[in-house]
Amino acid sequence: MEATKACSATDYKPGLEGVIAGISSVSVIDTERDTLLYRGYDVRELSEHCVYEEVAYLLLYGELPTADQLAGFQQKIGSQRSLEQPIIDAMVSLPKGVNYMDALRTGVSLLGHWDTQAQQLDHEANVEKAIRLIAKIPTLITTVYRAQQGLPPTQPDPSLGHSANFFYMLNGQKPDALTVKTFDISMVLYAEHGYNASTFSAIVTCSSLSDMHSAITAAVATLKGSLHGGANEKAMVMLKEIGAADKAEAWVMDALAQKKKIMGFGHRVYKHGDTRAPILKELGRQLSEQKGDATWHDLADVVEQVMMREKGLHTNVDFPAAYVYYMMGLPIDLYTPLFAASRVAGWAAHVIEQLDNNRLMRPKSGYNGPAYKPLKPLAERG
């Protein structure tokens, strides 16, 4: 046997690119409309007309809520935000300088110990656990962030919406209307995106009949990786390095000449531009007008123009998210945890879908090792 023939080049797809690994009703990129659909609804329409809680309800239950259903859902989320004291103590005691994604991974795992339905895998229990995770993950993030700054945790306010409450827990102040709107829309846009790496890791984990908390912990761990999460953080670091719009073109041209990666451009599954990016770009313009400071919006616009001219690349959602978050005063090292706080709704929807009709994920691997070799006794080796 020739070992190299054991793995067919036509069968193997690096990174599983283009491989259908499952059937899902949660979301799809509609190539005819060139947009992303959640349960059949265009993400552009959802971001314009729905708050995050409506979209989370849609992802978990399969349909948009009525007014009464939304009110009940929001009330349930508001009532579930608080953390048990041992979890608070653990978050506060993490070492100084901890990576916030590591902290979040630990926090999600801890939540499972205090969830009375943690080991139940039926549909109803999974939905209830998902709601609690949506409610509590922002509290985990703000608790550990404030502890790292030497500040006590801020207790959640159940009267506030999901996005407004996050800002209140982060800095103890209720945000203005445009900040709430902008952040909420970003949460809608990040909530779901098919079989990406973190979602797929959650699906693989629960397919062994592991539980929701284990699956979401695996998703958080996967999102931490720099090839998946973190692009918006790196994009903002890049924009800060450029510093001003009149320096942007020269900076980009120099970076391209050195074959450096320009963060926030291109996407494996979007060929004609990320539908979500223009939405956040417009919100960035509105924030600039409100603040009377267009520094970041103008700088980013030049980078975008040069990249289109030189490389024909569109921005993805992470590029405008970077400076939009920065203009709202959000710390750069919280950008990826905030991605997780949004995406947990999509992760959970896929976990629920998988466990409703489960089959263990067990793909094959191609073999490129040596052919059979006879075993020599220990005394005859070497």
Answer whether residue 344 is part of any domain: yes
pLDDT bracket for residue 284 (50, 70, 90): very high
One domain for residues 317 and 303: yes
CATH number at residue 339: 1.10.580.10
Tell whether the model's pLDDT for residue 71 goes beyond 90.
yes
Answer whether residue 250 is part of any domain: yes
Over the chain, what is the mean pLDDT? 94
Answer whether residue 309 is part of any domain: yes
One domain for residues 88 and 122: yes
One domain for residues 218 and 278: no
Q: Which of 168, 164, 176 is nearest to 327 (CA)?
A: 176
Q: What is the mean pLDDT of the segment spanning 21-37? A: 92
Domain that holds residue 300: 231-327
CATH number at residue 311: 1.10.230.10
pLDDT at 192: 98
As for how many domains the chain has, the answer is: 2
| Separation CA 321–CA 220 (nearest Å) | 19
Answer whether residue 59 is part of any domain: yes
Tell whether the model's pLDDT for residue 145 goes beyond 70.
yes
Which residue of the set 162, 193, 213, 267 is catalytic? 267
Positive/negative CA dihedral, 238, 295, 101, 266: negative
Which residue of the set 184, 211, 274, 318 is catalytic? 318
pLDDT bracket for residue 10 (50, 70, 90): low
Among this protein's residues, is 267 annotated catalytic? Answer: yes
- Kindly give, in sequence order, each residue whose CB lies less than 8 Å from that of residue 102, ignoring residues fewer than 6 positions away: 224
CB 138 within 8 A of CB 169: yes
Q: What percent of the chain has pLDDT over 90?
A: 88
One domain for residues 193 and 44: yes
Q: What is the mean pLDDT of the segment spanning 63-74? A: 98
The tokens of 365 are what? 């691997």
The tokens of 20 are what? 């259908």
One domain for residues 312 and 276: yes
Candidate from 9-23, 101-115, 206-220, 326-340 with smallest mean pLDDT: 9-23
Answer whether residue 361 is part of any domain: no
Answer whether residue 368 is part of any domain: no
Answer whether residue 205 is part of any domain: yes
Tell whether the model's pLDDT for residue 19 goes beyond 90.
no
One domain for residues 178 and 40: yes
Locus of tokens 């995106």: 193
| Separation CA 1–CA 245 (nearest Å) | 61
One domain for residues 196 and 337: yes
One domain for residues 45 and 102: yes
Cβ neighbourhood burial of 266 (10 Å; 0-12, 13-18, 19+) = middle
Tell whether the model's pLDDT for residue 326 goes beyond 60.
yes
Answer whether residue 265 is part of any domain: yes
pLDDT at 8: 56
CB 220 within 8 A of CB 244: no
One domain for residues 47 and 139: yes
One domain for residues 340 and 319: no
One domain for residues 345 and 220: yes
CB 214 within 8 A of CB 79: no
Tell whether the model's pLDDT for residue 268 goes beyond 90.
no
Q: How far is CA 9 from CA 3, 14, 223, 366, 367, in A?
A: 13, 10, 29, 9, 11
Tell whether the model's pLDDT for residue 15 goes beyond 80.
yes
The pair phi, psi for residue 324, each rounded to 5°, is -65, -45
Q: Which pTM was predicted?
A: 0.94
pLDDT bracket for residue 4 (50, 70, 90): very low
CB 190 within 8 A of CB 196: no
One domain for residues 32 and 130: yes
Q: What is the mean pLDDT of the segment spanning 59-75? A: 98
